[in-house]
């Protein structure tokens, strides 16, 4: 069924069931069609595949390892494993799709890459890819996030990217997407918009998923080599959903593997504006050119969202996740800020691995699962490292007692 699944979803119009599609102005529609067609032919060419493979191995440092958490498992029960995307070059899974998108831009003869960024991870990854390929790079980022994730702003500038501060609305990820989209619309011919997750109009949710599939393909084989079996449970945090799609995509066929997508419950799961648990409280709607579960206010506009993890505070979610929820293939649940901070320190102190706050949501959920299922194996996609978050966490929450 696996190959069948990828042939079937999305369909030619970019739909995953009722979600996805391309709700965009006609000009942009033409451009997206061009990108789709180019992607279909270029991504199957021997040149493209072998160049991407070589980049992954020699530049990104793939495959990243799967690691068994000895002390964490001993403390909480279960057998907890991590897919170490934090060890991918630039410290997160995002470079997987950025190198793919930038390679596509090169094949399309584009000169410039444009994108938004939340925590700054996508911006850094894209600025890195732009430097690698010698392309210009312009990153739109909310002012609130710029302050919170200052080291990533400096990183992007060092890498030669132009960082455009976004000053309207809540000044976080959603506004940054609006702003980057606007800039792209001004010149879609020589630039490529490189979205940071499995969201946006077709073909982005498909392309980004395909570029992230390497995570699941590696992880499944590595886990099997280590244990002789498949994991009982696979856990990933969900913002837009790219790291989760990356790892889930290899297990969609294995009914014995339970898949868990973890969203941020922020400060309060019951109060609009204080969380970003799209699957729990969202309803189908359209944002940024595609249909998905969407957190909406009274007027049906995208609701304000919040999470301690800047990379997760988006009111929409990938269309494929929206479909997988309806199909009950993946269980979507949530973890709040304080559980996240506890997990951040637990993984740091028990395993010597400082996780990104986004990834700490998945770790916190794995800890919960382990407590209730002491016999089960749990594979967590550790989407990124926490260096970017250390000052913020210690300033805001202090250090826990030993
Ligand atoms: C951006 C980011 C996320 C969230 O994005 P997804 O598309 O949901 O994966 C998760 N973890 C890290 C480390 C990130 O940088």
pLDDT tens per residue, range 383-397: 999 998 999 999 999
Q: Answer with the one of 205, 226, 245 that is the final residue of a domain.
A: 205
Residue 297 lies in a domain: yes
- Residues 196, 286, single domain; the answer is no
Q: What's the whole-number mean pLDDT along residues 144-169?
A: 94
- Residues 173, 239, single domain; the answer is no
Three-state SS string over the chain comes to: CHHHHHHHCCCCCCEECCEECCCCCHHHHHHHHHHHHHHHHHCCCHHHHHHHHHHHHHHHCCCCCEEECHHHHHHHCCEEEEEEHHHCCCCECHHHHHHHHHHHHHHCCCCEEEEEECCCHHHHHHHHHHHHHCCEEEEEEEHHHHHHCHHHHHHHHHCCCEEEEECCCCCCHHHHHHHHHHHHHHCCCCEEECCCCCCCCCCHHHHHHHHHHHHHHHHHHHHHHHHCCCCCEEEEECCCCHHHHHHHCCCCCCCCCEEEEEEEEECCCCCCCCCCCHHHHCEEEEECCEEEEECECCCCCECCCCCCCHHHCCCCCCHHHHHHHHCCCEEEEEEEHHHHHHHHHHHHHHHCCCECHHHHHHHHHHHHHHHHCCCCEEEEEECEECHHHHHHHHHHHCCCCC
Among 64, 174, 243, 334, name the best residue to mutate to test ligand 1's pocket (greatest count of ligand atoms within 8 A of Cβ): 243
- Residues 245, 352, single domain; the answer is yes
Question: d(Cα 236, Cα 152) in Å, to the nearest integer?
Answer: 23
Three-state SS string over 55-80 comes to: HHHHHHCCCCCEEECHHHHHHHCCEE
Please tell me if the CB atom of residue 238 comes closer than 6 angstroms to any atom of ligand 1.
yes
Residue 1 lies in a domain: no
- pLDDT higher than 60, residue 274: yes
pLDDT of residue 208: 98
- pLDDT higher than 90, residue 174: no
Residue 23 lies in a domain: no
For residues 122 and 95, the answer to whether their CB atoms sit within 8 Å is no
Catalytic residue among 89, 93, 97, 288: 93
Residue 224 lies in a domain: yes
- Residues 265, 328, single domain; the answer is yes
- Residues 257, 135, single domain; the answer is no
Q: How many domains does one find in the chain? A: 2
Q: Answer with the one of 145, 171, 205 that is the final residue of a domain.
A: 205
Residue 8 lies in a domain: no
Q: What's the whole-number mean pLDDT along residues 357-369?
A: 98
Distance of CA 233 to the CA centre of its chain: 19
- pLDDT higher than 90, residue 10: yes
Question: d(Cα 368, Cα 327) in Å, to the nearest integer?
Answer: 24
- Residues 197, 224, single domain; the answer is no
- pLDDT higher than 60, residue 1: no
pLDDT of residue 2: 67
- Residues 192, 220, single domain; the answer is no
- Residues 357, 372, single domain; the answer is yes
Q: What's the whole-number mean pLDDT along residues 20-27?
A: 92
CA angle 169, 173, 175 (to 5 degrees): 35
The band of 87, judged by pLDDT with boundaries at 50, 70 and 90, is very high
- Residues 220, 367, single domain; the answer is yes
Q: What's the domain range around 121?
A: 34-57+95-205
CA 211 to ligand 1 center in whole angstroms? 14
CATH at 304: 3.40.50.1100
- pLDDT higher than 80, residue 3: no
Residue 156, token pair as written in the block: 């992007």
- Residues 306, 221, single domain; the answer is yes
Please tell me if the CB atom of residue 243 comes closer than 6 angstroms to any atom of ligand 1.
yes
Is 321 an annotated catalytic residue? no
Q: Answer with the one of 176, 205, 234 that is the final residue of a domain.
A: 205
pLDDT of residue 28: 85
Residue 22 lies in a domain: no
- Residues 46, 85, single domain; the answer is no
Question: d(Cα 114, Cα 191) in Å, to the nearest integer?
Answer: 7
| Mean pLDDT score across all residues of the chain | 95
Question: d(Cα 257, Cα 269) in Å, to the nearest integer?
Answer: 27
Please tell me if the CB atom of residue 245 comes closer than 6 angstroms to any atom of ligand 1.
no
Residue 20 lies in a domain: no
- pLDDT higher than 60, residue 128: yes
Q: Of the ranges 151-155, 157-161, 296-300, 310-314, which is most confident? A: 157-161
Q: Of the ranges 28-32, 185-189, 376-380, which is most confident? A: 376-380
Task: Name the CA dihedral angle for 209, 34, 48, 17, rounded to a multiple of 10 degrees.
Answer: 20
Residue 10 lies in a domain: no
Question: d(Cα 273, Cα 375) in Å, to the nearest integer?
Answer: 38
Per-residue pLDDT tens over the stretch 205-240: 999 999 999 999 999 999 999 999 999 999 999 999
pLDDT of residue 310: 86
- Residues 237, 342, single domain; the answer is yes
- pLDDT higher than 70, residue 4: yes
Is 140 an annotated catalytic residue? no
């Amino acid at each position: 069924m696996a190959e069948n699944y990828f042939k079937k979803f999305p369909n030619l119009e970019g739909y995953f069931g009722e979600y996805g599609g391309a709700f965009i102005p006609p000009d942009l529609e033409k451009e997206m069609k061009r990108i789709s067609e180019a992607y279909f032919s270029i991504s199957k060419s021997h040149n493209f595949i072998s160049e991407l493979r070589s980049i992954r191995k020699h530049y990104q440092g793939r495959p990243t390892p799967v690691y068994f958490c000895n002390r964490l498992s001993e403390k909480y029960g279960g057998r907890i494993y991590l897919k170490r995307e934090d060890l991918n070059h630039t410290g997160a899974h995002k470079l997987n799709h950025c190198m793919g998108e930038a390679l596509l831009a090169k094949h399309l003869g584009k000169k410039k890459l444009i994108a938004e960024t939340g925590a700054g991870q996508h911006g850094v990854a894209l600025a890195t890819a732009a430097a690698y390929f010698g392309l210009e790079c312009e990153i739109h980022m909310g002012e609130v996030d710029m302050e919170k994730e200052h080291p990533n702003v400096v990183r992007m500038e060092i890498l030669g990217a132009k960082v455009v501060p976004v000053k309207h609305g809540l000044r976080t990820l959603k506004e940054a997407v609006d702003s980057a989209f606007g800039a792209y619309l001004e010149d879609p011919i020589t630039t490529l918009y490189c979205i940071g997750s499995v969201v946006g109009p077709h073909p982005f949710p498909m392309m980004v998923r395909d570029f992230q599939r390497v995570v699941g393909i590696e992880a499944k084989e590595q886990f099997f080599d280590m244990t002789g079996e498949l994991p009982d449970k696979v856990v990933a945090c969900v913002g837009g959903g790219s790291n989760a799609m990356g790892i889930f995509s290899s297990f969609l066929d294995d009914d014995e593997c339970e898949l868990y997508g973890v969203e941020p419950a922020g400060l309060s799961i019951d109060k609009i504006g204080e969380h970003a648990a799209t699957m729990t409280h969202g309803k189908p709607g359209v944002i940024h050119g595609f249909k998905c579960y969407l957190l909406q206010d009274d007027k049906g506009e995208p609701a304000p969202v919040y999470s301690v993890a800047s990379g997760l505070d988006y009111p929409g979610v990938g269309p494929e996740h929206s479909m997988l929820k309806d199909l009950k293939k993946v269980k979507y649940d949530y973890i709040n800020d304080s559980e996240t901070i506890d997990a951040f320190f637990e993984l740091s102190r028990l395993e010597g691995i400082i996780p990104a706050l986004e990834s700490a949501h998945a770790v916190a959920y794995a800890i919960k699962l382990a407590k209730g299922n002491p016999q089960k194996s749990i594979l967590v996609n550790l989407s990124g490292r926490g260096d970017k978050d250390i000052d913020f966490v210690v300033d805001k929450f202090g250090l826990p007692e030993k």
